[in-house]
Structures are given as structure tokens and as C-alpha cells.
Chain A
Amino acid sequence: MSEYWLPLAGGALIGLAATMLMLFNGRVAGISGITEGVLNFKSDESHWQIAFLLGLVAAGLALFRVMPDAFTLGIERDLWVIVLGGLTVGFGTRLGSGCTSGHGVCGLSRFSSRSLVATLVFMGVAIVTVALTHQTLGAGQ
């Protein structure tokens, strides 16, 4: 059953982290927005935004030592597909003001209909994309 309760426990930690950032910093844990804030740099928010992103990387560095399987790709993608994926994720999350965390977790948690629409759209398009491309791009193992 760990197949289900690990995702549930991980999800609970994500929700907890979003609440921590609100409790201590008074800010929404939207990762694409925080990343863009760091890119803009000029704002007086940059210092905590950089720290938050460093926290994400630190978690990855530490957990990769302990449970490298958690970073198993399991699929293969050509370089240009990864680049295209990164470009559209970066551009799209900024055009739509949020990603899985900002709209999907924080937005849905406050019952924002704007975030609900965004979440349904990106999930829907992602599902269609996988249905149309996954076999072509390669299912991996």
C-alpha cells in the first residue's frame, strides 16, 4: 500500500511547507512565481526566494544520497524534447501565473475558481499530450 501512502505523505508535507511559508513569510508557495522573482532579482523579495529555491535543491541533494531511486527517470526523451518541455513550462507558467504548486495546491486550497480553471486546463492538456505523444516519444521501461 506504500504505493499510495508515500504520495499521500509527500503531498501532506507539500501542504505543510506551503503553510509554513504563509505562517513565517506571509507568502504563497508558488514555485514558478518564486523562480521568476529570483530571475527578476530587483525585487526586495529576492533574498527569501533564493533561500526557498536553495532549500528545494538541498532536499534533492540530500535525498539523492539516501534514496536515489526517487530520481529514477524511467523514460527517455530526445534533447530537443526536454528543451521544448522546459521552454513551454517556463513560458506557460508565467503567462498563466502559476503551476502545480501555485494553482494546483495553494489555489485549490483557498477555493479559487481561477486556479481551478488553470488546474483543469493544464491537467487536461497534459493528459491529451501524453495520450498523443507518449508512444511516439518512447515509453521507456
Chain B
Amino acid sequence: MKRFFGPTSFTALLAGVVFGIGLTLSGMTQPAKVIGFLDLFGNWDPSLAFVMGGAVIVHALTRPLVLRRTQPIAAASFRLPNLTAIDGRLVAGASLFGLGWGLVGICPGPGIVGLGSGDSYFLVFFPAMLVGMLIHGRLAARPSPSAEPGA
């Protein structure tokens, strides 16, 4: 806890604010808009395709520049995802996530940003999401050899 007010917290806070502004401007905090984007066989609203498109283009272009450095600016080392397995866990997990996302139109990021609006929709979704994560933590066979950091 003593490191809470250190530089890595400050830079993470900054990244979180920028991420949150991006999610809000893009429309991801509007469940009806998200569901409209997912309503491919109904009244499809393609606009949110530009969110992932814009994010991937910017990140794919700038990430390699960052990784030329030997270490990050505020931390000791880069921690990069090392899992490559395409297995049942991945597919089952992504399926469950897709089910929930389709039901309510909120994924984790907008679910957290939306708390700032005070709307009961978000105030119910967020704790339920935490409980889902806790249940997974309980059921998961003790520490898998290499947890994917921050994925």
C-alpha cells in the first residue's frame, strides 16, 4: 500500500482516464448502441466497428515503438502475455462473455466507466461482474502455471 502514491500509480491513473474518455466518446457506454452494433441480423448499426478499428490501428502502430525500449519508463520490466493455447477454456470463456455482453450490452471497461453516471444499470452490473470473477477464482484449479498478466 505504501507504493500506492508512486509513479506507476500515477501513470496508470492517467492511462485509465484516457481509456475511459475513449470508451465514453466512442459510444461503448450506451448499451442500446452496443446492442445495435451486435444486431447484425436486425437493425444493424455499424458505427462501433470504428471503435475497435481505431483502437487496433493506433495500438498496433505505436506498440512496437514502445517495445524497442529495454524497459518501461516507470516500471522495472515489460510483462507481456505468453499464452498461445487455443483451448476449451478460451472458447468457453469467450462464449460466456459473449452471452453476457449480448444480454446487457456492456463489457467490463464501459461497465466500470459507467459507474460514474450513477445509473442503477451500471451499479447492478458491476458488482455482479465482480461476483462472476470471484466465482471463477474459487472454481479455477489453483494457480494455473502462467496466468496471462492483465489480459
Contacts and interface: CB of A to CB of B under 8 A. Distances in A.
Nearest to B9: A51
A133 B102 contact: yes
A103 B7 CA distance: 27
B99 to A, nearest CB: 5
Contacts, number: 520
B148 to A, nearest CB: 4
Interface residues on B, range: 35 or more
Given A26-B78, A90-B133, A140-B32, A121 B91 contact: yes
A9 to B, nearest CB: 6
A129 B89 CA distance: 20
Contact of A55 (B14, B26, B128): B14
Interface residues on A, range: 35 or more
A32 B59 CA distance: 18
B13 A52 contact: yes
A19 B76 CA distance: 17
A21 B124 CA distance: 28
Interface in B108-151: 108-109, 111-119, 121, 124-137, 140, 147-151
Interface of A: 3-37, 39-40, 44-45, 47-64, 67-68, 70-75, 77, 79, 81-114, 117-119, 121-131, 133-134, 137, 140-141
